Structure 1
Amino acid sequence: MNTPAAFTLKSESILNMLKTDISVSSNIRNMNIAIDPTKTWQGLWDTGASRTSIDKRIAKELGLIPVGKGTISTANGIISVNTYFINLTLINRVTITDILVAEADLGSEIDLLIGMDIIRHGDFSITNTNGATTFSFRIPSMKEIDYVNGIND
């Protein structure tokens, strides 16, 4: 991925979660299950997650076939879960392929956790100016963002 692409989301208030629409595909799935290629899922951007996770109901709906087992840390401890290879298409139409994701129980409002395995490929910033959150992501990473230099200039 060499051509830069970015998106910026602006809210009208301070957000406590950063969510975007995400498209999901995979070549390792039950091809007898028809899927809508235009369907999007709710992805929660989580800098505290080292790995991207997919809710088990979404994995089932897409007919994903596990490629192995992994472990994730939850509030209830470390558990063993299925892992899958998927492709994610972000809202800026950038597709990141062959991501090893963990299956998780994310609840009814979140379909995917976008972890640092995705975020580390680009530049990620959040500002909360004038009572509104702005969230921006650029891929690939192009330059350092340094708020200290901005204050001192």
Structure 2
Amino acid sequence: MSSFTAPCPGIVNKLKCWVGIKDPSMSKGDVFVALWDTGATNSAVTEKVAKALGLVPAGKTKVHGVNGLSEANFYVVEIILPGNMHFVRNVTECKSAGDWDVLVGMDIMSFGDFSVSNFNGSTTFSFRVPSRAVIDYVAEERAAVAAAQAANPPAPPEGQNS
């Protein structure tokens, strides 16, 4: 089992962390900023990553993105997440918004449990593999209410003995 938790400074609207990327047939890789994107079906790397690592395209594939259908190079890479989680995946080449180099998509997140909290004015996200339980906030609330009621039962109506 592996897991990691990434606290962020304040409330953020982008979940990012450092990840290792390498060609699985090579021993060396490098570290890049990854954006976690639940709207991305598959993980992706930017042209910057492909060039920095000297990746050779394994082929071309059709990509359905926010701007419609396009064709892109794809590569086979090893993605190393914090917590020493290794995933060998086909990733497409994508354009970056400038502050990230790798998209971690649902193809990786589907291997485990992923959660985000914004407690006390600070965003924290966490990921674990394999999945170990259903994260169910409704069930959590019901259990907390039941526990509070059991700890503090209502007083009997006035004039009745308990």
> Given the two structures, how large is their TM-score scaled by the length of structure 2?
0.82
Distance in 2, Cα, partners of 1:150 & 1:57: 43
What secondary structure does 1:135 align onto? strand
Structure 1 gaps of 5+ residues are none
1:102 to 64, 76, 92: 92
What amino acid is the match of 1:11? C
What amino acid is the match of 2:11? I
Q: Could you say which residue in structure 2 is the equivalent of 1:62?
A: 53
What amino acid is the match of 1:112? V
Q: Could you say which residue in structure 1 is the equivalent of 2:83?
A: 92
1:146 is the counterpart of 2:143: no
What secondary structure does 2:118 align onto? strand
Q: Comparing both structures, which one devotes a greater share of its residues to helix?
A: 2
Q: Give the CA deviation at 1:36.
A: 5.7
1:25 is the counterpart of 2:22: yes
What are the within-5 Å matches in structure 2 for residues 94-133 of structure 1?
A: 94-97=85-88, 99-133=89-123
Q: 1:27 to 1:129 in 2, by over 3 A?
A: closer
Q: Could you tell me the percent identity over the aligned residues? A: 37
Q: Give the CA deviation at 1:61.
A: 1.5
Larger radius of gyration: 2
What secondary structure does 1:40 align onto? strand
1:53 to 31, 41, 44: 44
Distance in 2, Cα, partners of 1:48 & 1:18: 13
Structure 2 gaps of 5+ residues are 144-162
Distance in 1, Cα, partners of 2:112 & 2:24: 25
Q: Which has the higher contact order (CA 8 A, sep 6+)?
A: 1
Q: Could you say which residue in structure 1 is the equivalent of 2:154?
A: none
What amino acid is the match of 2:41? S
- Aligned-pair RMSD on alpha carbons? 1.7
1:41 is the counterpart of 2:13: no
1:80 is the counterpart of 2:71: yes
Distance in 1, Cα, partners of 2:61 & 2:109: 20
What amino acid is the match of 1:84? Y
2:7 to 6, 10, 23: 10
What secondary structure does 2:103 align onto? strand
What amino acid is the match of 1:141? S
Distance in 2, Cα, partners of 1:7 & 1:67: 30
